[in-house]
């Protein structure tokens, strides 16, 4: 298959996936639990993205207090919970990561 | 609360999306450089970023092109990797249902992980209103522009970000900042915890199927804990 055709079709498939329910949800009948389940989509998907990034920063599981991403992530969760401030959470989380990396690199 | 103007909404979207760019730009650079090393032409590499416009899928597709996989395999993989976007689509659908079809098409094209994360948070926090889709557009266009520019820089200059700069960590941090304050009841916390743990256990599954599975089980968990509406 020509590379341009692959790119075009891959783009169409991606677009169709993103458009699917935006276009259809009004026109099809979906069960009640489906609509109620929608509110869990953001917390579920994003948590499933976040946790592996913290516990497996290099691709394999690293559950240890020597894992700087895990420690910095815990700090960020605390800051987000206490302040609900996005920029502050990012800033403190990044600073924590750099500090933990430096400290753990020494010992 | 007074209705926000279109301009206000648009710039709020731009502003809220901006910090994520710190984490996204290095990926764009890396993608541009990787696509060239997989022997894609500059034009094809840039076209992947503007036509497919889906980070993880583009990385995997470029790698598959590099190893000489068939077009059909690449298409299947891109489709599976991007299946989670159907969840995003369902999740924003109730908020955009009254828009004209042109808007729906445009916003669907811009519905990436990063634009979804800030936009759905905004919808849930501020509620629906007449100009809310301008926020979506602002966030989506901001990410789109950064992705195009960083891809181009990666193509022509190569990725020269020292590996010791952990900028990619901005992405999980932003998601933490968006998710944690949204956890307001037992069902939501259960959905997040279960999805997180399954995502961790199924991390090795190919083509992001682990992520999709984790999200689905998390959503079902939330529904079960919440129980039947009275």
Reading chain B (230 residues) residue by residue, the pLDDT tens digits are 557 899 999 999 999 999 999 989 988 998 999 899 888 999 999 999 999 999 889 998 998 888 888 999 999 999 999 999 999 999 999 999 999 999 999 999 999 999 999 999 999 988 878 899 999 999 999 999 999 999 999 999 876 766 667 888 988 999 999 999 999 999 999 999 999 999 999 988 888 889 999 999 999 999 999 987 65
Inter-chain CB proximity B109 and A46 less than 8 Å = no
Q: Is residue B179 within 8 Å of residue A45, measured between CB atoms?
A: no
Q: Cβ contacts (< 8 Å) between B84 and chain A: which residues? A: 45
CB of A49 less than 8 A from some CB of B:
yes
Position B164 scores a pLDDT of 65
Q: Cβ contacts (< 8 Å) between B113 and chain A: which residues? A: 49
* Two structure tokens written together for A26: 């009004």
Position B2 scores a pLDDT of 59
**pTM of this structure:** 0.88
Inter-chain CB proximity A9 and B196 less than 8 Å = no
Q: Cβ contacts (< 8 Å) between A36 and chain B: which residues? A: 223, 226, 229
Domain ranges of chain A: 1-30, 42-106
Q: What letter would DSSP give residue B205?
A: S
Q: Give the tens place of pLDDT for each residue, A15-51.
A: 999 999 999 998 888 899 999 999 999 999 999 999 9
Count chain A–chain B contacts defined by CB atoms under 8 A: 255
Inter-chain CB proximity A13 and B79 less than 8 Å = yes
CB of A54 less than 8 A from some CB of B:
yes
* Two structure tokens written together for A3: 């590379």
CA–CA gap between residue B154 and residue B164 (Å, rounded): 18
* Two structure tokens written together for B146: 């950064």
Q: Give the tens place of pLDDT for each residue, A44-97.
A: 999 999 999 999 888 888 889 899 999 999 999 999 999 999 999 999 999 999
CA–CA gap between residue A14 and residue B106 (Å, rounded): 13
Reference A69, options A102, A93, A45; nearest CA is A93
Inter-chain CB proximity B174 and A50 less than 8 Å = no
Which site among A4, A9, A10, A20 would you substitute to test the B interface, given the most B Cβ atoms closer than 10 Å to its Cβ? A10
Angle at B139 between CA B220 and CA B12, to 5 degrees: 110
Q: What is the DSSP string of A17-80?
A: HHHHHHHHTTTS---HHHHHHGGGHHHHHHHHHHHHHHH-TTSS---STT-HHHHHHHHHHHHH
ipTM of predicted assembly, 2 dp: 0.90
Identity of the residue in A3, A43, A90 whose CB atom sits nearest the CB atom of B179: A43
Instruction: Identify the H or E element spanning B2.
Output: none
Q: Is residue B210 within 8 Å of residue B204, measured between CB atoms?
A: yes
């Amino acid at each position: 298959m020509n590379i341009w055709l692959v790119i075009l079709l891959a783009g169409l498939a991606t677009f169709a996936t993103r458009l699917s329910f935006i276009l259809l949800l009004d026109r099809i009948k979906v069960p009640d639990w489906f609509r109620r389940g929608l509110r869990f989509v953001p917390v579920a998907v994003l948590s499933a993205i976040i946790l592996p990034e913290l516990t497996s920063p290099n691709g394999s599981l690293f559950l240890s207090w020597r894992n700087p991403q895990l420690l910095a992530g815990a700090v960020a969760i605390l800051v987000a919970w206490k302040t609900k401030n996005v920029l502050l959470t990012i800033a403190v989380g990044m600073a924590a990561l750099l500090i933990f990396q430096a400290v753990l690199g020494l010992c | 609360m007074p209705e926000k103007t279109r301009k206000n909404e648009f710039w709020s979207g731009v502003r809220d999306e901006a910090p994520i760019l710190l984490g996204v730009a290095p990926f764009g650079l890396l993608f541009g450089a990787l696509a060239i090393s997989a022997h894609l032409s500059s034009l094809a590499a840039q076209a992947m970023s503007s036509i497919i416009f889906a980070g993880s899928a583009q990385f995997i597709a470029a790698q598959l092109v590099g190893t000489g996989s068939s077009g059909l395999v690449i298409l299947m993989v891109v489709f599976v990797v991007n299946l989670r976007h159907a969840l995003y689509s369902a999740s924003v659908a109730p908020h955009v249902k009254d828009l004209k079809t042109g808007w729906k098409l445009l916003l669907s094209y811009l519905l990436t992980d990063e634009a979804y994360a800030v936009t759905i948070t905004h919808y849930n926090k501020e509620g629906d209103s007449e100009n809310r889709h301008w926020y979506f557009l602002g966030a989506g266009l901001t990410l789109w522009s950064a992705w195009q520019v960083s891809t181009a820089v990666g193509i022509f200059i190569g990725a020269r970000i020292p590996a010791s700069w952990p900028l990619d960590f901005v992405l999980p941090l932003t998601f933490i900042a968006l998710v944690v304050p949204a956890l307001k009841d037992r069902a939501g916390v259960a959905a997040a915890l279960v999805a997180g743990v399954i995502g961790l256990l199924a991390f090795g599954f190919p083509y992001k199927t682990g992520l999709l599975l984790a999200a689905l089980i998390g959503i079902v968990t939330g529904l079960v804990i919440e129980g039947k509406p009275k």
